[in-house]
Structure 1
């Protein structure tokens, strides 16, 4: 029996975990520079970001791409 490991690095990672880790690593200002959306630049919070990202697929994709880039750097 072989152990299969998911090849998708986003497997099992919630959007909340992604936003929290990015905010901790880069800070809101840098995150807003990398992904220029108001939920990161104007009074940012995890709650407001999640609300927006869950409704906006293109923004969520950008955030996931930044997260994947961060994982490569680690």
Structure 2
């Protein structure tokens, strides 16, 4: 009688599969630099006398920081499409992407661009907080709705292309 090998589950399509933390950090530092990584991620290991050894030691001990770097690697460096809210409940190494989705070129970042993105995110957060404080619902059943159900899908700005309705296009462009 021949003993069979256990079936090996097919790994989800994830650029982090088989990628060591050392390799990932080397790629990030080579493409960006310590200053841009610090500006984008706000991790002190990238700011105060950064070295590969000290950063790796910190990330191996600090799970939340490692997950932040892995998320940055997936969505800024590899520019993978954003997942559903259920996907974001998972750790970056556990997330999967559909078959055939391949990473794109890394997003170019400068210190000025990171500062602009941070300022916009802060302004959006403050606006959301102001709306919550005024008792107006931001989401939910009390939110006023358009008369016909299709009005929500109409484009308001004709300068921007409409998102693709093609289900095989994960980036919606």
> What is the aligned partner in structure 1 of residue 21 from structure 2?
15
Question: What count of residue pairs does the alignment treat as equivalent?
Answer: 71
**Distance apart, 1:18 and its partner CA:** 0.8
Give the TM-score normalised by structure 2.
0.39
Task: Please report the RMSD computed on the Cα atoms of aligned residues, expressed in angstroms.
Answer: 1.3
Q: Gaps (5+ residues) in structure 1? A: none
Bigger relative contact order (CA 8 A; separation at least 6): 1
Moved segments of 4+, more than 2 Å: none
| 3-state SS of paired residue (1:11) | coil
- The separation in 2 between residues aligned to 1:59 and 1:31, in whole angstroms, is 12
Give the TM-score normalised by structure 1.
0.87
Q: Name the structure with the higher helix share.
A: 1
Task: Flag the structure with larger Rg.
Answer: 2
> What is the aligned partner in structure 2 of residue 28 from structure 1?
34
